[in-house]
Amino acid sequence: WDVVLSNTLVKTGLGFGGGVLASVLLFKRRAWPVWLGIGFGIGRGYAEGDAIFRSPVGIRNVKA
């Protein structure tokens, strides 16, 4: 659970940052890019968490 929650928190933070950056630079400080970025971050964290729980080992394998 700790890997999934930390991954979701990081993805949500990145989505928030990307949304703020897009809002300031492209969309005249509208709020919707921030919410869209947060939504994408939560969705990506959920999808990766689901993949982690469905894997047979239960942990991520990173190959460099």
Please give the structure tokens belonging to residue 27.
């969309």
Answer for the pair 43, 12: CB distance below 8 angstroms, yes or no: no
Question: What pLDDT digit, counting tens, does each position of 10-40 carry?
Answer: 999 999 999 999 999 888 888 888 999 999 9
What is the predicted pLDDT for the residue at 52? 81
Please give the structure tokens belonging to residue 5.
């929650």
